[in-house]
Amino acid sequence: MANIQVVRKKENRQEGYEDKIKKYRLANAYRFVLLLLFLAAIVGLIIVQYRKHVYTGYNVVNTVPRQSGTQSVPIRLGKSVLSYSEDGSHCINLKGDVVWNQTYQMQDVDTAVCGEVSALCSYNGNQIFVQSAKECLGEVTTTMPIRDIAVSATGRVSAILADVDATWIHTYDPNGELLFYGQTFMQNSGYPVALALSPDGELLGVSYVYLDAGTVKTNIAFYNFGPVGSNQSDYLVSTQSYSDMIAPYIQFMDDGTAFAVGDNRLVIYKGEQKPVSAADYFYNDTEIKSVFYNEEYIGLIMASDKAESRYRLDVYGVDAKKVGTYYFDLEYKDMFFEDKRFVIYSESECLIMNMDGLEKFRGRFGGSVELMVPTDSAYKYVLVTGSSLDTIQLN
């Protein structure tokens, strides 16, 4: 009996020790969960405060000189600045360092940009200069006058070329090699008024206008230069016809999302191989004044339908859904999207608003601003003036 009693005592002690270990581990788990919840609450509070924070001014944290000609026009090229004129172009980074220079002689310079790649041409000319934020990629020489161009992030270029009896659409690599071509006639497919390349250069979207019984109508056609399109006649993979719309504007947001802006609606197309219509947004009796976009949003600026505001901005997402409608009075010259907000500015003032409709900043610049470029830091921008690059930080 004695031996049995001793064994039972050891078992009870062992059970008590295991219970203590379990309680200790459980207590630590509770503490860890509470710590995570506390940290999540702190992070959530910081995010809420960050989203609700309103900036009232800015500090100039850096200034570097900039040389520019009197006729030079600066545009964004990724996070760099491309300046072009009739005599040539050059690219500088946000530190003011010249990355490259290119000389030419062109009149009526036209530009196309996709991310960090640009193409420059002259309307009715026969040269296209392809450039990136890092280097000059190449030159294209056409055999017919250029009417319009589009460029991809890979440097591939498509051009509408005018012939005597027909119109051609040629697609080149950056070095000028002709890759694809097609001929259009007004009485058949129509006249191409706008074109766009997907960032990877595999899809080409074209807006055609044509006459049908005295009425001007539109065809939106998509061509696939990859394996899927090679099995189709003329690489044509999808076509949408509109009897009540003229669409002089078409663009790609990414490799599988495109949109066309017509005189009475916005049409968003989805599909990486064969784009088809995913959403139509009508705006009858309203004139679109400007179109802006990036890989996430489309922005249409039009006259306001409210007496207290001058302009109305409708924003749509890459998912083909409407994000919201916003109103403002600023006489803008440019606009861009960044990190779930948009920036509208003129030479002398700026408005920054998030997608919740909160004004993050409204203020005036100290000088005349030709271009405003976002940086990698939140609410830090580079203001491009005629003589300097001014880096500012909102506060």
Mean pLDDT for 5-34 is 64
More reliable by pLDDT, 11 or 339: 339
The residues facing 297 across adjacent strands are 317
Domain boundaries, the chain: 1-52
The pLDDT of residue 42? 63
Give the pLDDT confidence of 54-84 residue by residue, as tens digits: 999 999 999 999 987 778 999 999 999 999 9
Q: In what order do the strands lie in the sheet with 146-151?
A: 146-151, 157-162, 167-172, 178-184
Mean pLDDT for 355-368 is 95
How remote is the C-alpha of 62 from its chain's centroid?
Answer: 27
Residue 2 pLDDT greater than 60, yes or no: no
Task: Answer whether 128's CB lies under 8 Å from 121's CB.
Answer: yes
Confidence of residue 7 (pLDDT cuts 50, 70, 90): very low
Give the pLDDT confidence of 114-126 residue by residue, as tens digits: 999 999 999 999 9
The pLDDT of residue 14? 55
How remote is the C-alpha of 293 from its chain's centroid?
Answer: 4
| Nearest alpha-carbon partner for 126 in 105, 152, 154 | 105
Q: For residue 384, give both structure tokens.
A: 């491009």
| pTM value surpassing 0.85 | yes
Confidence of residue 25 (pLDDT cuts 50, 70, 90): confident
